[in-house]
Structure 1
Amino acid sequence: MIPRKKPEPVEVLIIGAGASGGTAAKVFTEAGIRVVALDRGPFLRNEQFSGDELKYLNRNYVWPDPQLKPRTYRPDEESPEEEVQFSPTPQGVGGGTIHWGGIVPRMTEDDFRLRSLHGDIPGASLVDWPIEYGDLEPYYTRVEWELGTSGLAGANRWEGPRSKGYPTKPVELTHYGRVFAQAMKKMGQSTFPIPQAMVTEPYRGRKAHVNSGFWQQYGDPVGAKSSTANTFIPDALATGLLDLRPDSYVREITLHPDGTAKGVIYTDADGNEVEQLADIVICCAGAIETTRLLQLSKSAAHANGLANSSGLLGANATFHEYLFAIGLFDKEVVDPLYPWAGHYTNTMSFDYYQTDYDRGHMLGTLIFASMLGHPVNWTFPGRPTWGQASKDADRDLFNHSMKLGVMVQDLPVESNKVDLDPNVVDAWGLPVARITHTPHANDFAQAKWQVAKNMEILEVAGASKIIPVNLEKITGNCCHEMGTARMGNDPSKSVVDKWCQTHDVPNLYIFDGSFFPTSTGVNPTLTIMANAWRCTERIIHVRGKGRTAD
């Protein structure tokens, strides 16, 4: 039997080198603290992202292989599980920031106080956040400037106060973005450039975005996409204090006899079992995989999973669902939209974001214009998929199509959860994550109203054919995972405190989207990164290199 490897202990151990893990690694190392960061996927460089589209869309180049790393889903505890590729976040250094569209609006001030605004909602577990917009604002700004973000300060009239604008100018308006903006103007509504994690002009040695539509689901060979793999991770490596270990599969967090975190056990790229000790352990693997790891780390002292004295680990899981309405335009009415030119998404509105009970539901969603898909895989209901008819559809329809998308702001429900599947294991023999989720009635009402509104906008824009895509169940198609280790002040009602320190294990932290008390209606990654920066600074200030907190 090959003995377990035991590298030298380290001050900070980060599990997952994506959005939150990359942020924490940068802040720790630039403060002079030595860090080991583990990621279960590879570290792909920019030049490795070039090549044909099929490797991304059909060959799992940046996506997890469902045969090796499956997940299961069921709508409720009485229903059987099915193996699905639920919220398939890329596994690798950079995490979801490798494939993301980079839509990074800030949360609004009201997003932090939904229970105070709306009270108790039957069937939901609505709470206020233990922090406010003002607590995150300085860190929103730091991330925007250090990461490299494009946008136009003040353009979103619903946004909270800003201490600084954006480092690069907003993305240029596309043809389909212009069609959306003109229709909204006719309806008396407003639009603004989408804040995006990309540079639109030379910035800190990086080239500007080349205005290609091949962005969403793709890696970026140019380096204009602001992933942590080409920004924060290189920053951390440049200090000489980051030991980055890709292709490392963590299977257990271990504890000292006093109940504090000791380190982790993982399998390295060569198949060796390794035990890494650390003063501080930070989970940054995403809400699904972090929850799974904590549940895999159960012991006699933690029979229901690590950091789960509240019984809420895995509960209140939320997943934005991306819905849209498709518009097809007659060639004689609208000039070609050329959706392959420019960013995949373009132009946004928050005018339907705030609650208006006259719509028959609470909360709302952002809305944005986008291309219908990439030329190699675009589709709409009834489109021919083979032969001359398929080619004719590509030629005649692709350049005259667009969609208006929304993300359903799903309410937290305690019974919506992530736990371990009792029957299905991954390629390493470990139980996979099982997602149990049925949308709240408010989610269905919100989705129905907003998709209908999108259809109305497309009609005003001049679309000759409009096709709705409605909510039937949560599929995790946004890859936004939140809420499974809720942040709160009361240890009996939450998993981590307002600094993302677990209530049960003082040197164990959770920085990914698990901490979200509510899902909010914006893409979560900017908030995840800003909060990781905030909490990392707190650890540096209060704990130093492994010292006990005051």
Structure 2
Amino acid sequence: MSHPLAEIQWDAIVVGTGIGGGTIGRALAEAGHRVLFLEKGRGGHRSERNGLSEIFVPEARAARGLWPDPLHVTLNGQETAFYAPLGSGVGGSSAFYAATLERPERHDLDSSDSHPSGGWAVGFDAMLPWYEEAARVYRVYGTDDPLSPEPPLPLRNAPELGPVEKSLMDSFRAAGLHPYHAHTAIERLEGCENCLGVKCPKPCKMDGRSAGVEPAMATGNAEVLTEAEVIRIDADQTRVNGLMVRVDGKEHRFRAKRYILAGGALGSPRLLLASANENWPDGLANRSGLVGRNLMFHLNEMFALWPRDAIDGPATKAISLRDLYHAEGTHYGTIQAMGIRASYGEIVHYLNRMLAQSTLPGAKRLAPLSRIPAALAHRMLGSAQIFVGLMEDLPYPENRVTFDPDQPERLSVDYRYSSELLARRKAFRRAIKRAFKGHRRLFLGQQPDLNYGHPCGTLRFGTDPEKSVLNADCRAHDLTNLWVTDSSFMPTSMGVNPSLTIAANALRVASTFNEEPQ
């Protein structure tokens, strides 16, 4: 027997409910389209307030809205598996994010000799109104970047700084730096708990759920089906004809006029590769051979920094700086407060994560012993605040999402550190040391640290079908009714968190849906 929602011919089916899926689904529902969200994860309870955690039982992870299975990574030829910071539930990974929504810089998108991408298919000026609209939709607050020559975003007033934040801001300015209040997507309702890095039990934190799916549902034009795993896309040479979806152990066929992939830069290419057929032997929409390729992350350069005034206080997420964004003719990225303290529990978490990702023999068995160095580190770091340099990654075709037909549900990637990346990382660390001279500081790692929560680039958009998977409107070059609105479309990773760009692009793509698909 067919699922009741499979009996409906939808105007649009959106696969995934994170920032990209939630945003475009809301825009389409508000425009009068009938929208169905398909979400692999569970619906959960609106009052949940759990964060990303090192829970190793798939059922327990699924119940908490976490991706239930390990990410399998072949890093520089060495295979390992660990739980990445990925969500699986309404809101996707955005339900756990720290709500930082920063706009990139002009040179990130526009054609430039200083950037190896050669520019995006849609330039900075064309994206500006969509960044502004995304900032309004996501209720972003903060202060303007003093180094930016661009029109400011329509930011809401930021809350008053605390003593630690003010001390850091003052000492940064005295050192010749240009800090500003980070751009953050929180409504700050009565009783707001600033749920940065954890699920928000109220509609305070603006994410794919609170700013996307829930407003879409409120229109009466949208439905969401959870625990619905899309296992295959059925298509002929030019059109998608349906989605095969597993619900309660049974397969159902769902149909729509338009199909929108928003399952993330790892999930969306994997689904296209899993949908190979006689018309698409190498994977759906893969005439270019680039589906899954050009995978990028950011590199995290974490360091502890002590306020000069030697005052103690809660962790801050309020501070961003772009002094090193594009410095010395080199693409580095944003430096921002992480919103965590160098507490015992946080140190245990990061040590265990490093051990889980290590390729050294026996490293994983050392996890129970991580509490001893964590206690020593906590005593040494004391009142330090944790900052991160978010360094841009560049696209290389050999870095990719992989697919094994014998293990179709497995999420796996192959990544190699380029010599260019390693050299730029060393230069970034030297630049950070110079920029914060006079502040007590300590780098928290020696090895490169990929930000597995920021994958992008695996279905890049462009104007040349031989060099891209999607066109400028993020529609597959050779399929007239298939679009992608997650971070897969990005040809470069930029030097900022990708969330605002994902939301802005989703709004832009929705605006093109004013006619029936051909």
1:441 pairs with 398, 409, 419, which one?
A: 419
CA contact (8 A) 2:14 2:261 kept: yes
Structure 1: 5+ residue runs without aligned partners? 121-125, 201-205
Cα distance in 2, alignment partners of residues 73 and 265 from structure 1: 27
Q: Which amino acid aligns with 1:487?
A: F
Structure 2 match to 1:363? 331
Q: Secondary structure at the match of 1:138?
A: helix
Question: Corresponding residue for 2:47?
Answer: 47
Q: Does the residue aligned with 2:495 lie in a helix, a strand or coil?
A: coil
Give, in angstroms, the shift of residue 16 of structure 1. 0.3
Match of 2:102 in 1: 105
Question: Could you tell me how far apart the structure 2 residues matched to 1:298 and 1:382 are?
Answer: 40
What residue in structure 2 maps to residue 221 of structure 1? 201
Q: What TM-score does the superposition give when structure 2 sets the normalisation length?
A: 0.87
In the alignment, structure 1 residue 377 sits paired with structure 2 residue 345: yes
Deviation at 1:96, TM superposition (A): 1.9
Q: 1:150 aligns with which of 119, 141, 161?
A: 141
Matched ranges for 1:65-214 at <5 A:
65=68, 69-76=69-76, 79-86=77-84, 88-113=85-110, 116-118=112-114, 126-152=117-143, 154-158=144-148, 160-162=150-152, 165-166=154-155, 168-200=156-188, 206-207=189-190, 209-210=192-193, 212=194
Write out aligned runs for 1:5-44 (5 A): 6-44=6-44
- Mapped partners of 2:339, 2:217: distance in 1: 36
1:56/1:62 contact within 8 Å kept: no
Match of 1:487 among 449, 461, 477: 461
Paired with 2:415 and 2:71, the residues of 1 have a C-alpha distance of 13
Count of aligned pairs: 494
Kept in 2, the 8 Å contact 1:72–1:421? The answer is: no
**Which of the numbers 226, 229, 249 marks the counterpart of 1:249?**
229
Q: Please give the alpha-carbon distance, in whole angstroms, between the structure 1 residues aligned to 2:82 and 2:310.
A: 39
Could you say if the C-alpha distance between residues 80 and 336 of structure 1 is closer, same or farther in structure 2, counting changes exceeding 3 Å?
Answer: closer
Q: SS of the counterpart of 1:370? A: strand
The corresponding residue for 2:473 is 499
The letter for the 1-side match of 2:460 is: R
1:204-353 alignment runs, 5 A limit: 206-207=189-190, 209-210=192-193, 212=194, 215-216=196-197, 218-255=198-235, 257=236, 259-268=238-247, 270-327=248-305, 334-339=310-315, 343=316, 345-353=317-325
The question of whether the paired residues in 2 share the 8 Å contact of 1:316 and 1:415 is answered with yes
3-state DSSP of counterpart to 1:276: strand
**Deviation of the 1:467 alpha carbon:** 3.5
1:420 is aligned to 2:403: yes
- Residue by residue, what CA displacement relative to the aligned partner does 1:483-540 show, whole Å, maximum 9, x if unpaired? 111110011111001100100111011111111011111111111111111111101x
- CA change 1:127–1:207 in 2 (3 A) is farther
Structure 1 pair 170/82, CA: closer, same or farther in 2 (3 Å)?
Answer: same
TM-score (ref. length: structure 1): 0.82
User: 2-side partners of 1:393 and 1:491: how far apart?
Assistant: 52
AA of the residue aligned to 2:124: Y
Equivalent in the alignment of 1:432 = 410
Counterpart contact for 2:390–2:495, Cα < 8 Å:
yes
Structure 2 residue runs of 5 or longer lacking an equivalent are 353-368
Match of 1:405 in 2: 388
> What's the offset of the Cα at 1:466?
2.2
Q: Give 1:234 deviation, angstroms.
A: 1.7
* Cα shift readout 1:170-205 (whole Å, capped 9, x = no counterpart): 1443444334323322321111000011124xxxxx
Match of 1:469 in 2: 445
Closer/same/farther in 2, CA of residues 274 and 175 from structure 1, 3 Å limit: farther
Instruction: Say if 1:398 and 1:119 are closer, same or farther in 2 by CA, change over 3 A.
Output: closer
Q: 1:451 offset after TM fit, Å?
A: 2.8
How far is 1:408 from its partner? 1.5
SS in 2 for 1:415: coil
Q: 1:56 to 1:374 in 2, by over 3 A?
A: farther
- Tell me which amino acid in the other structure corresponds to 1:92: G
Identical aligned pairs, as a percentage?
22
Contact 2:100 2:184 in 1 (8 A): yes
Instruction: Say whether the 8 Å CA contact 1:320–1:409 is kept in structure 2.
Output: yes
Once superposed, what is the RMSD of the aligned Cα atoms? 2.8
Aligned: 1:536 with 2:510? yes
Instruction: Output the CA distance in 1 between the equivalents of 2:335 and 2:288.
Output: 36
1:274-308 Cα offsets, whole Å, 9 max, x none, are 11011111000001000000000000110110000
